[in-house]
Structure formats: structure tokens, C-alpha cells
């Protein structure tokens, strides 16, 4: 048993960042983690492993599709799935050990085990009860499923099972056309699986800009993914090594069945707060299970804070990280700040998709007068050379003031390009400010500038 200024429960991107910042600000800090390795969902079964498989499968796609076009001849590589998984596990190991190193460097105690809060100011881990002036709950989230769909992590899997399948399935059905379903669906499609995505709504990636949704679905279809939209999955029946997905088309209630070797359930995630003892503590949660916090990330119990996937807002690692830094600064008596209006969202497929700020649909709904500047990557020399001309940058700016309100990119390195617009928005920039900034040639970033020019007198290369 020990006394701490801060105990963080959970070592995902929210928790470990909060712990490091607390320690940097001079607070005696511990972090409780029940998993065998640090880093949470993100490093162990989320962002990092999925990006490793996206990278590997993209390289295969490049070798098969584009190498011959550039005069790079020879047999395209074949897939050694075991080795690909070993590569992915190695990437996870390097990252989780990196957090362990940072904990040691910052003198943060890792309290190994599952933590609970028996009362304000106390955290129980195993048989030990530790005292803490402040507690930060950063316990993250877990996959949610649908009624009638039983996950066994073998044939019917969540993203966690999909990251370690024993072999590449012949037929995969993905339930849900959100970010996780489409990222992992495109991994398996590139590795040779027949992938069918079944989605309840009539479009993919709910919440994204409508034009981007259409283009994204079109490009994924061209890459071989099949889509059944407007379809409600009723149940999944598992046979010995296969499954049958029963769904109804919403337009006429007709019933259909799809066969699959693996079914990936990617219908969203829900906060994970099991075992913390929140009910006994009378800590307030919403009807969606999210911990309720005030503008300083404090719960209804003084000295108990919550951040990341366990609270409201986009379930993204960088949102959790920002909250982690901000809550640490608040506890240390500084002014923690998160700008929730400028949180980018990225889909790491090829092409990538990235967005920040308002969509056109939201602006219409708000009745805000806006203008659109759009530029196709077909007009970008670098993109054309790299077989990456399909896609566009779209910037939305206030009609009167020209202030940037949102940006939506589908195309090469979209997840990196979006940050130029994020910085501009953080500084309250106008589209003209981006348009007047010299951009190096030949870069993909020039497409962002051209879209900004398109908000004014027009782009040059279209």
C-alpha cells in the first residue's frame, strides 16, 4: 500500500498520457493496468496492430497491381500469414515496451492487476488498497454486438479476434460499414478473402461527409469489397467451421442469407467500466454507460476524473490522449484544454480518408451560409505519379468571413494532410490564409492549397 497524488486506472492512450503528464508536473503517480502489457486497446488490439496489417497488405497490393506498371518485374510476393502476424506482434511489443520504458523514466509505478474504487481517495488492486488524492478513470471501451449475434472469437469475431485469425478466410462477412469494419475488411480483401459488408444504413461510414462516403464506397467496391446496404442482420448461425448470416432488406423486409468462414462484428464499441464499483460509489453514468463528467473531466465525485472512451465523445486514441494531458494539467492546478471542434478522424485504408470540423450536411442543418473549395488529386502531379489520383480535398469555409469550418479528404496520405487544416482551424484561419501559403512542389499538400484556392478565385490545376 502506498500514497499517491494521482492513480490512473487503465493504461491506454488516455491513461498512460495522463500518467506521464502528471509525473512530468511533479505529481507522485501510479497507473493500474490489468492487461499483461501497457498501452490499452490502442497498442494491443486496436490502432497499432490494425495499422501493421493495413501496411503489410497494402505492400502486397502495390506489388501485385503497381510494380509491373513501373517496370518492376518478377513474381509478386505470396502471403505467409504466420509471419505477417509475427510482424504485427513485434510491432505491438515494441510499442507496449516503449510505454513501460516511459513509465520507468518518469518514475510512474505500474500497479499490476484490475483496479476498483472502494471509496473516493482509494484504489484497490488485488488485496492492496492504495490512497490517492486524485483518481483518473481511463478504462476505455469494449466491442459491442447485436442481439442474435453471439461472438466466439473464432468464427464470429470482434476486431480483437480478427487481428489473430488462424488463417486468411475464404469468405468474410463484415457486419457494420464503420471505420473498424472497413479497415479490417480491406485488409482481408487485399489478402484474398471475398469480403461482403452488411450495413444497416444506406451509406458507409456514418457521420462522414456525404460526397466522401460515396467516393469511398465506390473505390472500395472497385478494390473488390461487396456491399449490402439498408440491411438489418437478424442473426448469425454458427456451424462447425462456418457461419450463416441472416439479414432482412429494409426496403421490402425480404429475408436473405450469406455464407461465411468468418463473420466480423464491427457494430461499435461501448464504455468498459466493469468491476470498478461505480454503483456502490454512486458515480453517475449516462444511459449509454458513459461516465458523466463536467468541463474539467471531473465526475460527480470530487477528486475522481474520467477520460477517453469511457466518457462521451469520439472514441479515438488522440481524443483520449488530449483529455489525458488536459486532466493532468487541471489536477496540477493549470488550465487543461481540449478543442473538441478540431478533432480529426482518419480511416487508414488506401486511399485514406480524413475529416475535421463540420460536414456539408451539418452546415446545411445549422443553416450556415458556406462555400465549398474542392480539388481532385487527378490535378496533383505527385499523386498521378504514385497511382493515387483517385480522390479529392474538400474545404468548407464560411461564406462571409472565409473562416475554415471543415475539411474532408479522400486520397493519398489524407491522415497526414488533414493536420495542415487542423492547425489552420486552431488559429481561426481563413481559406485564403491556406491559399496564400507557399506549398512545396511536388507534394500531396499542394492539393490542400488548391482546394483552399477553390474557395476563392479558383484553383490553378483544374
Q: What φ, ψ does residue 435 adopt, rounded to 5°?
A: -65, -30
- Told to check if 54 binds ligand FAD by CB under 6 A, we report no
Interface segment toward ligand FAD; rule CB under 6 A; list 239-247, 305-313, 401-409, 418-426? 305-313
Interface with ligand FAD, residue 50, by CB under 6 A: yes
Nearest to 250 by CA among 266, 235, 229, 267: 229
Q: Does 57 engage in binding with ligand FAD (CB under 6 A)?
A: no
Q: Establish if 112 lies at the interface with ligand FAD (CB under 6 A).
A: no
Task: Pick the binder of ligand FAD from 58, 122, 270, 318 (CB under 6 A).
Answer: 318
* Contacting residue, 92, 149, 283, 315, with ligand FAD by CB under 6 A: 315
Is residue 118 close enough to count as binding ligand FAD by CB under 6 A? no
Contact assessment for residue 146 and residue 315, using Cβ atoms and an 8 Å cutoff: no
* Residue 92 binds to ligand FAD (criterion: CB under 6 A): no
Separation between Cα atoms, residue 134 and residue 306, nearest integer Å: 11
**What is the nearest approach in angstroms of ligand FAD to the Cβ of residue 435?**
29
How far is it, in rounded angstroms, from Cα 96 to Cα 103?
11
Q: Based on the shown chain and the rule CB under 6 A, indicate whether residue 322 belongs to the binding site for ligand FAD.
A: no
Neighbours of 214 (CB within 10 A): 13
By beta-carbon proximity to ligand FAD, the closer residue of 172 and 434 is: 172
- Within 310-363, strands assigned E span 345-347, 352-357
Q: What mask, x for binding ligand FAD by CB under 6 A, covers residues 333 to 352?
A: ---------------x----
C-alpha span between 101 and 451 (Å, rounded) = 43
DSSP code per residue over 74-106:
SPPPPP-HHHHHHHHHHHHHHHHHHHHHHHHHT
- Tell me, by CB under 6 A, how many residues bind ligand FAD: 37
For residues 157 to 176, the per-residue mask of contacts with ligand FAD, x marking binding by CB under 6 A and - elsewhere, is --x-----------------
Residue 441 CB: number of other CB atoms within 10 A? 10
Rg (CA), the chain: 23
b/e map of 2-14 (b: 16 or more CB within 10 Å)?
eebbbbbbbbbbb
Instruction: Single out the residue of 6, 27, 84, 138 in contact with ligand FAD (rule: CB under 6 A).
Output: 138
Smallest distance, ligand FAD to C-beta of residue 418, A: 13
SS3 59: helix
3-state secondary structure of 8: strand
180 sits near ligand FAD (criterion: CB under 6 A): yes
Least separation in angstroms between residue 436's CB and ligand FAD is 31
Residue 309's φ and ψ, nearest 5 degrees, are: -65, -20
Q: Residue from 132, 317, 331, 452 that binds ligand FAD (CB under 6 A)?
A: 317
Q: What is the smallest separation between the CB atom of 373 and ligand FAD, expressed in angstroms?
A: 27
Q: Is 172 annotated as a binding residue?
A: no
**Known active-site residue 408:** no
Q: Determine if 177 is a binding residue for ligand FAD (CB under 6 A).
A: no
**To 10 degrees, the CA torsion angle through 435, 439, 444, 448?**
-10
Cβ atoms within 10 Å of 288's Cβ, excluding its own: 8
- Which one of 242, 272, 312, 443 is in contact with ligand FAD (CB under 6 A)? 272
- The residue from 309, 390, 446, 450 that contacts ligand FAD (CB under 6 A) is 309
Q: State the minimum distance, in angstroms, from the CB of residue 148 to ligand FAD.
A: 22
**Residue with Cβ nearer ligand FAD (348 or 444):** 348
Quickly count: other Cβ atoms within 10 Å of residue 88's Cβ. Answer: 20
Q: Are strands 109-112 and 29-33 parallel, antiparallel or unpaired?
A: parallel
Question: By CB under 6 A, what part of segment 5-44 binds ligand FAD?
Answer: 9-15, 32-35, 40-42
- Of 256, 296, 337, 441, catalytic: 441
> Which lies closer to ligand FAD via its Cβ, residue 353 or residue 421?
353
Half-sphere exposure of 104 (CA within 13 A, CB side): 5
Q: How far is the CB of 167 from ligand FAD (least distance, A)?
A: 19
Q: Answer whether the bond into residue 351 is a cis peptide, omega within 30°.
A: yes
Query: Which residue in the block uniquely carries the three cell numbers 472497385?
Result: 222
Residue located via cell numbers 489524407: 414
Residues 6+ apart with CB under 8 A from 286: 292, 312
Residues identified as active-site? 441
Residues in contact with ligand FAD by the rule CB under 6 A: 9-15, 32-35, 40-42, 46-47, 50, 114-115, 138-141, 159, 180, 272, 275-276, 308-310, 315-318, 320, 348
Amino acid at each position: 500500500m502506498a500514497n499517491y497524488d494521482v492513480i490512473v486506472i487503465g493504461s491506454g492512450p488516455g491513461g498512460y498520457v495522463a500518467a506521464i503528464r502528471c509525473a512530468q508536473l511533479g505529481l507522485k503517480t501510479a497507473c493500474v493496468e490489468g492487461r499483461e502489457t501497457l498501452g490499452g486497446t490502442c497498442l494491443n488490439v486496436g490502432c497499432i496492430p490494425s495499422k501493421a496489417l493495413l501496411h503489410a497488405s497494402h505492400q502486397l497490393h502495390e506489388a501485385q497491381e503497381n510494380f509491373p506498371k513501373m517496370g518492376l518485374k518478377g513474381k509478386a510476393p505470396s502471403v505467409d500469414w504466420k509471419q505477417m502476424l509475427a510482424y504485427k506482434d513485434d510491432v505491438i511489443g515494441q510499442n507496449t515496451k516503449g510505454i513501460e520504458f516511459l513509465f520507468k523514466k518518469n518514475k510512474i509505478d505500474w500497479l499490476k492487476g484490475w483496479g476498483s474504487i472502494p471509496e473516493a481517495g482509494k484504489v484497490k488492486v488485488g488485496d492492496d488498497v492504495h490512497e490517492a488524492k486524485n483518481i483518473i478513470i481511463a478504462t476505455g471501451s469494449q466491442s459491442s454486438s447485436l442481439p442474435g449475434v453471439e461472438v466466439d472469437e473464432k468464427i464470429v469475431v470482434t476486431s480483437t479476434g480478427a487481428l489473430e485469425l488462424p488463417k486468411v478466410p475464404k469468405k468474410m462477412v463484415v457486419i457494420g460499414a464503420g471505420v473498424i469494419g472497413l479497415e479490417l475488411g480491406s485488409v482481408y480483401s487485399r489478402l484474398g478473402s471475398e469480403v461482403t459488408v452488411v450495413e444497416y444504413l444506406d451509406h458507409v461510414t456514418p457521420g462522414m461527409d456525404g460526397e466522401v462516403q460515396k467516393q469511398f464506397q465506390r473505390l472500395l467496391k472497385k478494390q473488390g469489397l461487396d456491399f449490402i446496404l439498408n440491411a438489418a442482420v437478424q442473426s448469425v448461425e454458427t456451424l462447425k467451421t462456418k457461419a450463416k448470416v441472416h439479414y432482412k432488406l429494409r426496403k421490402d423486409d425480404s429475408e436473405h442469407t450469406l455464407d461465411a468462414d468468418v463473420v466480423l462484428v464491427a457494430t461499435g464499441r461501448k464504455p468498459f467500466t466493469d468491476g470498478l464499483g461505480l454503483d456502490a460509489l454512486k458515480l453517475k453514468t449516462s444511459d449509454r454507460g458513459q461516465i458523466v463528467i463536467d468541463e474539467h473531466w471531473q465526475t460527480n465525485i470530487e477528486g475522481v476524473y474520467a477520460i477517453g472512451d469511457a466518457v462521451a465523445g469520439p472514441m479515438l486514441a488522440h481524443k483520449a490522449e488530449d483529455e489525458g494531458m488536459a486532466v493532468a494539467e487541471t489536477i496540477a492546478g493549470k488550465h487543461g484544454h481540449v478543442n473538441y471542434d478540431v478533432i480529426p478522424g482518419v480511416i487508414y485504408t488506401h486511399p485514406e480518408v480524413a475529416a475535421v470540423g463540420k460536414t456539408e450536411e451539418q452546415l446545411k442543418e445549422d443553416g450556415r451560409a458556406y462555400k465549398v473549395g474542392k480539388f481532385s488529386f487527378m490535378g496533383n502531379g505527385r499523386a498521378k505519379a504514385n497511382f493515387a489520383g483517385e480522390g479529392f480535398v474538400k474545404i468548407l469555409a464560411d461564406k462571409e468571413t472565409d473562416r475554415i469550418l471543415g475539411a474532408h479528404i479522400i486520397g493519398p496520405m489524407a491522415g497526414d494532410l488533414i493536420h495542415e487544416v487542423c492547425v489552420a482551424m486552431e488559429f481561426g484561419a481563413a481559406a485564403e490564409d491556406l491559399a496564400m501559403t507557399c506549398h512545396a512542389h511536388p507534394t500531396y499538400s499542394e492539393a490542400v492549397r488548391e482546394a483552399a484556392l477553390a474557395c476563392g478565385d479558383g484553383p490553378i490545376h483544374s
